[in-house]
């Protein structure tokens, strides 16, 4: 059973593993800011009811983007957290278009914890796209991303009304021109 000290351990672990990685946006934010945002969305929307989901949210990109292995996550944070992180990780051996298609296909079949993390991740990514779009992304690419994020979100309906509302709000904000 994980506790609050395991959560702080997860933040430290993720911060170190993602240390050299920056977010895609033009602001080049440290990656830990994204992990903090996703974990905060999950913790707030679930009222902190299940600490394993929050820990998995902190670690959600560690398999996909760093040399961390699933065995290592099992040893450090237990099999349940490791399984949720694996569920929200793309198979990086596949081409990008196929990975994106599979996210839409797999979304409805994920565990509740993984679905919650996915909703929060897509919400955070859309917010970043609004706040700090990557310098080389044309309007059409941004619109495609929003469409895709909403298609993944469609398969996550019924998971968490608050996060579903925040996802829709973030998507609408991206396509609405700023004043």
User: Judged by CB under 5 A, does residue 87 bind Zn ion?
Assistant: no
Q: Rounded CA gap, 117 and 41, in Å?
A: 9
Query: Exposed, middle or buried, 15 (CB in 10 Å: 0-12/13-18/19+)?
Result: middle
**One symbol per residue from 146 to 175: x for binding Zn ion (CB under 5 A), - otherwise; what is it?**
------------------------------
Catalytic entry in 29, 40, 50, 64 = 64
Minimal CA–CA distance to 58: which of 2, 127, 121, 103?
A: 121
- Of the pair 3, 102, the CB lying nearest Zn ion is at 102
Q: How far apart are CA 119 and CA 115, in angstroms?
A: 6
Tell me if residue 121 is catalytic: no
- Decide if 65 is catalytic: yes
The correct pick among 6, 37, 121, 164 for binding Zn ion (CB under 5 A) is: 121
Separation of alpha carbons 20 and 70, rounded Å: 21
| Interface of this chain with Zn ion, residues 38 to 67, rule: CB under 5 A | 61
Residues that are catalytic:
64-65
Interacting residue ranges for Zn ion, rule: CB under 5 A: 61, 121
């Amino acid at each position: 059973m994980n506790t609050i000290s395991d959560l702080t351990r997860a933040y430290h672990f993720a911060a170190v593993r993602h240390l050299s990685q920056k977010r895609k946006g033009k602001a080049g934010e440290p990656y830990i800011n994204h992990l903090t945002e996703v974990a905060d969305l999950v913790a707030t929307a679930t009222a902190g009811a299940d600490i394993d989901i929050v820990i998995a949210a902190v670690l959600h990109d560690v398999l996909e983007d760093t040399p961390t292995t699933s065995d290592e996550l099992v040893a450090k944070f237990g099999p349940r957290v490791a399984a949720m992180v694996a569920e929200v990780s793309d198979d990086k051996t596949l081409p990008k278009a196929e990975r994106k298609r599979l996210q839409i296909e797999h979304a409805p079949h994920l565990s509740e914890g993984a679905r919650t993390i996915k909703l929060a991740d897509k919400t955070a990514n859309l917010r970043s796209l609004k706040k700090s779009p990557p310098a080389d992304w044309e309007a059409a690419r941004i619109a495609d991303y929003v469409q895709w994020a909403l298609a993944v979100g469609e398969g996550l309906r019924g998971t968490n009304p608050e996060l579903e509302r925040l996802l829709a709000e973030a998507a609408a904000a991206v396509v609405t021109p700023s004043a």
